Structure formats: C-alpha cells, structure tokens
C-alpha cells in the first residue's frame, strides 16, 4: 500500500468514525478500471472525419469492423460470418454474425454496414479505389449485403480489415449518413467498449466502459481480429502532454499504462521493479526526408541522388532515438523491415555513403547555389532531431540552406504550397510514416509518384505507378513480393523520398497489469489488472 493511500485510509476511517456514515464510491465496488496515457490528445472522435492515429486507436475500442487483420496482417472475419465472391470476382456477398448489437441496443443490420462503408470509401485511399469500381452496394436482407464491382478487386477483405487509418468501422446508418467531411455528433458504437460522452474532456480525459451486450468471437484475439474480450470494466484515457509527469505518475501508480514513453526516461522506468517496459509497435516508423520534385534544386534527379548517397541513416537514427541501439536499424528500403513484402532492392546508394560522390552528383545537376528551404518542426522531437542532421548534411555536400525553424502546424500548411521555395513554398521537410502504413502500397500514399495526386513533393514516375497498380491486382504472396521489390527499386532510382531509417518506441505499464501485447495500436482486449 502506498504511504499516501495509508494516510488516506486512516483519515477516512477517522472521518467515518466521526460521522458514522460511508461516502458512496464513484465507481461500483469491484469494478476494474485501467488508466492509460495515450500518445496524443483525443481532440475529436470521428475516425472517418479525423484520421489521426489517436482517434483510430480509441475508435477501435468503440466500433467493430467486418474484418480485422491479425498479427500477420491477414484479414480475418470479425463482424462478418461469411463471404462469397462470384466466379468472375465482381460480386461480393457478405453476411453478418447473428446477435450483433449497437451500444443503443439496436441490432447491427446490413443497411448500417452499407452506409458505414459508403462513408468510409469516400475518405480512405483503398476505399476510393473500391468506390471507383463500385457498381452498387445494397442490403439484401437484415444480415446480408452485396457489393457489385466493375472489375475484380482482390484486396477487398484487406481493405475492410486493415489497421491503417481510416479503418472501415461499422456505425448505425443514421450516423454513417453524415457527410464524410463533417464530424459526427453521436457516438453509438458496435465494439466492446462504449464511449462515455458525458465524461469526455478533450485535452484531458476520455472514458470508455465495457459494453455488456458485445458478442466476442470464439477465436483468440490477435490485433484487430478474434475475440475482443474486455477484462476491465472501464478504460480511462488520461492526457499528459509532459513525459516527465507521465513517467512520475506511472512510477507512483497513478496510471497503469503509458503508450509512448520517451527514450530518455526508459532507464528510470526499467529500474523500477513495479514497471514493465517493452517495444510498443514492432512495425515502428520510417523516417522521411521529403523532397519537392516541382522546383529546383530537387526537380533534378542528380540533386536528389546527391542527398540519397550522402545520407547516413545512423546519424539520423541516433539523433532520433538518443542512441539506444535496440530502437533503430538502418533500412535501405521504403518498406517496413520484418514484414512479408520487405525488399531492399535498389537501396545500394543508402548502403554506401559517399560525400565525394554526392558532391560530384550535385555538380552534375548544375546546382547554382539556390537556397534549399528546409521546413523543420521544432515541436516534434524526431523532426527537430532529423532537421539538425539534415542542415549539417546539406551544407557538407555544398547546398545553401534556408533553415526554417517552425512548428508542425505551419509545416502542415506550407508543405501543401506548390509555390517556389522563395515565394511561400519549400524545398524539403521531414516527417515519418508509421511502419504499419508502409507494409504495402494500400495506404502508402507517400510512395506514390502520380504528380498532382501524389503526396507533398508531387513526384511523377511511371515505373513507380505501374508497380503500385500491379500490387493491387496481385494474386498471391510470391507475386506481391516480386512487385514490391520492383517498386522499391523504382522508387529508390527515382528518389521519391529518402528514408532516414527505421525506429521503434517503447511502451510501459505497471506490473499488476497483464496481457499487454505489442502492435501498431494499443489493444485493450485481453488486458487485465490484478
């Protein structure tokens, strides 16, 4: 027992003795509550309108999906009981499990799925592809709906079960009919936990309570698939912007689980025998040196190659992780290491760092000393760290650097500008991509090279686009692997962007909490508190 708890108990006992009465507890006796510090503030709660990871993570508790990927990234049935695909691959018929209910007690019907998928497909990159092929999507009966396409789409179940944001969550039809570019105002879920709107204080607290009528599957839980059995009655998200405070709160037992402890504080946490520490998401993140392909100097391939061959991923990763070698690895690839489709084909320039070769390439590019406008967000520690390394690197090669120290909000706006760097545009910026988004081209917008429709920097390259299109039509894993190797090479050759390395982060929890597993988002099912 903590000293403070002991003092409190003693004080309460005296008060009870004096008053002869007992105060009513806020939460029912015996109810298990888990206090969790998430990676960021839950500022809104619409997983389609706002696609931030933190919204997706909270939504995964509240809304269920028809399919869900397991830890091998294979889509498994979740709310779906069965599916049939016609011989020509154009018609999918999906049937719901019986007994599924929304949090308001109404049954989950096929029409709810249709409306939810319509809203999701208006915002999700894979959903947009399906929508482009869609002839109709209709409810056949209460538990069955039919999706008719104009062309086979072999990745449909992956699209419905993927963990990349926005996920295909199922909401009641009346809510799902909300314009996908407007925020929902009602939070009636289909998942294992209910969102307690009355206790939501954006920026401070979000509360979820166990949904008694949820019907978990019988299979063991694995990531977004299987039986999502809640072993606590209440999950309380406590927003803590300051890592030192979160660390102290975890040590004192005021919180149970911290999603993203910073590397500097890990030694302190590891020394505490009441705390367990492990890698949070093995898929981690890929750092990105994003170049503007529209304007000089990086509209020239040789200038981009100069950066690519000069860049030392170790410098970047040490700056980002603080030197903890367990947290990073050099990875000459656009694809997340350790995943089935990983390939480092074409990654040689990142393996043989050469400043001399870089200077030669830069000279050949005809670079005339035009300053490279580097947008560096100072409020995001990994981006600030990478920005410092980049400024030094570019100067060493011979670039003139215009270092714009700013905040992420400004980078978010300015990177969308296609103006010349000196007129409000930019030359490069840093960001990172969640490893879960970089396992294949499904949600990997940053690897695309389709010009105006590509991600910021707007690269144009037919070879890259050809391989992306081929992956969506791939029939089996071997075919996918071959395509991804060619895609990685094409993107490396063209220098769509320069990966700065792969890193992972830790998570930490009290030792009386059991069942914490790693993954791209925190899984609350199967977690219990002694």
Site for other proteins, rule CB under 8 A: 2-4, 7, 11, 23, 26, 41, 43-44, 46, 49-52, 123, 125, 164-166, 179, 181-183, 185, 201-205, 238-242, 244-246, 248-249, 251-252, 254, 379, 406-410, 412-414, 416, 431, 433, 437, 443, 445-446, 453, 455
Question: Which among 150, 158, 160 is positioned nearest to 90, based on CA atoms?
Answer: 150
Query: Tokens standing for 176?
Result: 């799902």
CB of 214 to other proteins, least distance (A): 26
CB of 409 to other proteins, least distance (A): 4
DSSP β-ladder status, 513-514 and 506-510: unpaired
Q: Which C-beta is closer to other proteins: that of 202 or that of 323?
A: 202
CB of 96 to other proteins, least distance (A): 28
CA distance 426 to 87: 50
DSSP β-ladder status, 33-37 and 257-258: parallel
Q: Which C-beta is closer to other proteins: that of 312 or that of 380?
A: 380
- What would the DSSP string read from start to end of 167-196? P-B---HHHHTS-TTS--S-----SSEEE-
Q: Which C-beta is closer to other proteins: that of 214 or that of 503?
A: 503
CB of 69 to other proteins, least distance (A): 17
CB of 227 to other proteins, least distance (A): 30
Q: Which C-beta is closer to other proteins: that of 242 or that of 478?
A: 242
Q: Which C-beta is closer to other proteins: that of 166 or that of 425?
A: 166
Q: Which C-beta is closer to other proteins: that of 108 or that of 377?
A: 377
CA distance 511 to 529: 9
Question: Which among 52, 277, 76 is positioned nearest to 161, based on CA atoms?
Answer: 76
For Cα atoms 475, 479, 485, give the angle at the middle one, nearest 5 degrees: 140
CB of 384 to other proteins, least distance (A): 15
CB of 183 to other proteins, least distance (A): 4
Query: CA dist 263 to 288, 495, 523, Å?
Result: 20, 31, 22
DSSP type of residue 65 = B
A 10 A CB-CB count for 139 gives 17
Q: Which C-beta is closer to other proteins: that of 286 or that of 358?
A: 286
CA distance 291 to 299: 9
């Amino acid at each position: 027992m903590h000293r403070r708890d002991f003092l409190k108990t003693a004080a309460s006992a005296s008060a009870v003795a004096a008053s002869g009465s007992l105060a009513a507890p806020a939460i029912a006796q015996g109810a298990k509550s888990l206090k969790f510090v998430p990676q960021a503030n839950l500022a809104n709660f619409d997983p389609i309108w706002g696609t931030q990871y933190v919204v997706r993570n909270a939504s995964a508790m509240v809304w269920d999906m028809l399919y869900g990927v397991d830890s091998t990234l294979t889509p498994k049935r979740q709310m779906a009981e069965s599916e049939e695909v016609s011989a020509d691959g154009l018609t999918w018929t999906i049937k719901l499990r019986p007994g599924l209910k929304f949090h308001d007690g109404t049954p989950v019907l096929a029409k709810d799925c249709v409306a939810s998928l319509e809203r999701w497909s208006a915002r999700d990159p894979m959903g947009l592809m399906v929508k482009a092929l869609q002839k109709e999507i209709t409810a056949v009966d209460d538990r069955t709906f039919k999706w008719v396409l104009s062309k086979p789409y072999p990745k449909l179940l992956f699209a419905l079960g993927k963990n990349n944001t926005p996920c295909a969550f199922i909401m009641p039809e009346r809510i799902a009919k909300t314009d996908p570019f407007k925020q929902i105002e009602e939070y009636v879920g289909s998942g294992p936990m209910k969102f307690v709107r009355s206790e939501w204080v954006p920026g401070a607290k979000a509360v979820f309570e166990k949904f008694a009528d949820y019907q978990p599957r019988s299979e063991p839980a694995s990531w977004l698939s299987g039986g999502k059995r809640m072993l606590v009655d209440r999950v309380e998200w406590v927003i803590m912007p300051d890592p030192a405070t979160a660390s102290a709160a975890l040590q004192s037992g005021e919180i149970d689980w911290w999603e993203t402890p910073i590397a500097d504080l890990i030694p302190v946490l590891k020394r505490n025998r009441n705390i367990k520490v492990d890698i949070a998401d093995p898929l981690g993140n890929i750092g990105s040196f994003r170049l503007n392909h529209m304007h000089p100097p990086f509209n020239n391939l040789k200038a981009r190659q100069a950066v690519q061959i000069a860049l030392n991923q170790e410098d970047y990763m040490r700056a980002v992780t603080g030197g903890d070698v367990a947290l990073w690895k050099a990875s000459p690839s656009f694809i997340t290491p350790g995943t089935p489709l990983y390939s480092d084909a074409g990654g040689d320039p990142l393996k043989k760092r050469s400043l001399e070769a870089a200077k030669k390439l830069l000279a050949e590019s005809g670079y005339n000393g035009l300053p490279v406008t580097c947008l560096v967000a100072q409020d995001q520690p990994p981006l600030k760290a990478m920005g410092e390394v980049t400024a030094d690197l570019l100067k060493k090669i011979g670039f003139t650097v215009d270092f714009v120290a700013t905040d992420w909000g400004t980078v978010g706006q300015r990177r969308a500008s296609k103006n010349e760097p000196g007129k409000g545009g930019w030359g490069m910026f840093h960001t990172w991509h969640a490893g879960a988004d970089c396992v294949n081209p499904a949600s990997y917008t940053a690897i695309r090279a389709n010009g105006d429709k590509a991600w910021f920097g707007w690269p144009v390259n037919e070879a890259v686009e050809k391989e992306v299109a081929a992956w969506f039509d791939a029939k089996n894993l071997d075919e996918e692997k071959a395509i991804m190797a060619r895609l990685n090479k094409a993107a490396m050759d063209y220098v769509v962007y320069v990966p700065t390395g792969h890193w992972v982060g830790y998570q930490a929890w009290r030792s009386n909490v059991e069942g914490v597993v790693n993954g791209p988002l925190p899984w609350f099912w199967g977690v219990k508190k002694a």
